[in-house]
Amino acid sequence: MAAANGEESFIHPMDQFVIKPLFGGGEVQLLSITNSTLWMAISVLAITALTVWGTSGRALVPTRVQSVAELLYGFVRQMVEEVAGEGSMKYFPYIFTLFAFILFSNMLGMIPGSFTPTAHIAVTATLALAVFITVTVIGFLRHGTHFLTFFWPKEAPGWLRPVLCVIELISYFVRPVSHSIRLGANMLAGHAVLKVFAGLFAMVIAGGLGPMAVVPLAAMVGLTAFEFLVAFIQAYVFAILTCVYLHDALHMH
């Protein structure tokens, strides 16, 4: 689409998502270190710096970094306890890892010129599918074949049950789809819209309409603040839905 607009177009909103090898160039191979790899690594390093290095003092009165790490810990722990319910603490490290990774990827993606791994459906689909498989396995391990009654609505009148069962099954298998697309599409759309306004700003300046550039600039400032909110909310939504699915597997409604 950028090519179709011709050489002079300023608007390439999708170019920021292009995955390219950092070394050597050419095709992206399985083991290629790409910009996506780099920013995943930066996320992992940042989380490690916060939660491992930041808490190494084990201070009774926490330092600033330590209290941020404790805040994050408390936030996720409370969410797991309240939403996933009894017996869910075993999976707390998993949900914490998910939440921290998505939150840091989203937030680091707000740095101009950086890359957002979570704006890629390959990443969010892998995460969502991993949650789906984990939760389904937990359901069967905990309840055996009894877990299948999760899809059989006992309260409904007899003739409705098969119909509702089909709907339940569909909605269950749609979970990873909505789970992954919600996060990926939000990140994609937000970054793309920011880029569109940035391009518009450049176009207005290049077109000699100087003062008019205030409009896209103001829109960018507002949207940037909004995107920070979305970056947090989407990480939170992903984690809390994981907790909801885990609760279903552990307690079956």
Partner 1 sequence: MATETAADAAGHAAEAAHGSGGLPQLDFATWPSQIFWLAVAMVVLYYLMSRIALPRISETLEERADAIADDLDKADEFRRRAAEAEKAYEQALADARAKAQAIAAEARAEIQAQVDEALARADAEISARTAESEKRIREIRDEAAAAVVAVATDTAGALIDAILPEAQNAKAVAAAVKARA
Scanning 39-47, 142-150, 165-173, 210-218 for contacts with partner 1 by CB under 8 A, the matching segment is 39-47
For residue 2, which phi and psi values (nearest 5 degrees)?
Answer: -65, -40
Least Å from the CB of residue 152 to partner 1:
34
On whether the CB atoms of residues 11 and 5 are closer than 8 A, the answer is yes
Length of the chain equals 253
CA distance 183 to 118: 7
Q: CA 139: distance to chain centroid?
A: 24
Distance CA 200, CA 94 (A): 42
Told to check if 32 binds partner 1 by CB under 8 A, we report: yes
The whole-angstrom distance between residue 69's C-alpha and the CA centroid of its chain comes to: 20
Contact letters (x/-) for partner 1, 99-138, by CB under 8 A?
-xx----------xx---x-xxxxx--xx--x--------
- Draw the binding track, 175-214, toward partner 1 (x: CB under 8 A; -: no contact): ---------x---x--------------------------
Find the farthest-apart pair of alpha carbons in the chain and give their distance in angstroms, rounded.
71
The contact set with partner 1 (CB under 8 A) reads 1-3, 12, 14-20, 25, 27-32, 34, 36-37, 40-41, 43-44, 47-48, 51-52, 55-56, 58-60, 62, 66, 69-70, 73-74, 92-94, 96-97, 100-101, 112-113, 117, 119-123, 126-127, 130, 184, 188
